[in-house]
Structure 1
Amino acid sequence: MALDDDIAILEAAPLFGLMNRDALRLISFAAERRRLEPGAVLFTRGESAEGGFVVTRGTVVLEPRGPHGTRVEAGPAALIGQAALFSALERPTTARAGTAPVEVMVVTQAVMRRMLEVFPDAATVIHDALADELAALTRTFAGSRAADPT
């Protein structure tokens, strides 16, 4: 995939779309590319997560976390593992390629650290976006508790 195509996908991806083009260029150059055949495992539940994935082609299927969970499909420009971009975690679910070949960009914590060193203004933008997400989630939970006081 050409550099401009990679940057266009990153611009459309959550969180990355907030960064300037030069920051995205650095990420695109530094990110590893991985290709998966249909049904191949990208990662398994419980595995150590040292970065995130941006889907560049195809569909990644995230398996339900429990018996009542729902399967999630992530297509081009989807960001999988946002928290793992910044912190070592365990993968909460298993992800595999859908029914067609899949290509992903692997964005490690090291790549994110490097980008933040070179583009420190991106840290503020990312911080604000994550704080907004957390505030919205908190409001959702507060609304759920108010609606069901049991």
Structure 2
Amino acid sequence: MALEDDMALLERVALFRAMDRDALRLLAFSSETRRLRAGDTLFRKDDISEYGFVVASGAITLIDDDVATAIVGPGTLIGEMALLSETRRPTTAIAREASVVLRVSRQMFRRTLEEYPATAARIADELRRRVQEMSADLAGVKERLRRIGADPDRREG
């Protein structure tokens, strides 16, 4: 894929949308294109993660304990947490069909944030907003559980 195509693909991802053009260009330039055949394994559950993957084409199935938990397609970032810190993969990812992914390294993502502090601040704001949304969603779930008598704070003695 051409650099402009890679940049356009990265811009489809909410996390990267906050980046300015130069930062996005650096990240796209340093990313690697991987082509997968149907059935190829992108990574396995519990692997140590060093990369995030943006699906450019095709479809990737995410599997946890032999159960498909999601099928993701173009514009999806797989392994966002891998860009932020070392972690283990929570699922196995297998190409459902011939697919192309853009591999983004944590090392380069961090370097980009260091070189573009305004971009880093915007990404921090985006992550903070998402954590707040998740907290509000969880509070709503807790309230619904409380209403049906399944209060998660209530302990049985």
TM-score, shorter chain, exceeding 0.5: yes
1:128 aligned residue: 125
Q: TM-score when scaled to structure 1?
A: 0.92
User: In the TM superposition, what is the alpha-carbon distance from 1:14 to its structure 2 partner?
Assistant: 2.3
Shift of 1:35: 1.1
Q: What is the aligned-residue identity percentage?
A: 40
1:73-88 paired onto structure 2 within 5 Å? 73-88=71-86
What RMSD over aligned residues (CA atoms) do the two structures have, in Å? Answer: 1.4
> How far apart are 1:128 and its partner, in Å?
0.7
Aligned residues: 147
Structure number with larger C-alpha Rg: 2
For the residue of structure 1 that corresponds to 2:42, the secondary structure is strand
Match of 2:105 among 86, 99, 108: 108
8 Å CA contact 1:14, 1:78 repeated in 2: no
- 1:7-35 deviation per Cα after TM superposition (whole angstroms, max 9, x unaligned): 11111112111211111110111112211
Q: 2:26 aligns to what?
A: 26
d(CA) in 1 for partners of 2:53 and 2:28?
12
Q: Distance in 2 between matches of 1:130 and 1:38?
A: 33
Q: If the length of structure 2 is used for normalisation, what is the TM-score? A: 0.88
Provide the residue aligned with 2:154 in structure 1.
none
Moved more, 14-23 or 41-50: 14-23
Distance 1:36 1:14 in 2: 24
Q: For structure 1, which runs of at least 5 residues remain unmatched after alignment?
A: none
Report runs of 4+ in structure 1 exceeding 3 Å deviation: none
Selected match of 1:147 from 120, 124, 144: 144
Name the CA distance, whole Å, in 1 between partners of 2:117 and 2:51: 19
Aligned partners of 1:51 and 1:86 also within 8 Å: no
Partner of 1:38: 38
Are positions 1:96 and 2:94 aligned together?
yes
In 2: Cα distance, 1:18 partner to 1:58 partner:
25
- Shift of the alpha carbon at 1:66? 4.9
TM superposition shift of 1:49: 0.5
1:111 alignment partner AA: M
Alignment-mate amino acid for residue 49 of structure 2 = A
- Aligned partners of 1:136, 1:128: CA distance in 2, in Å? 12
Matched residues in 2 for 1:37 and 1:70: separation?
18
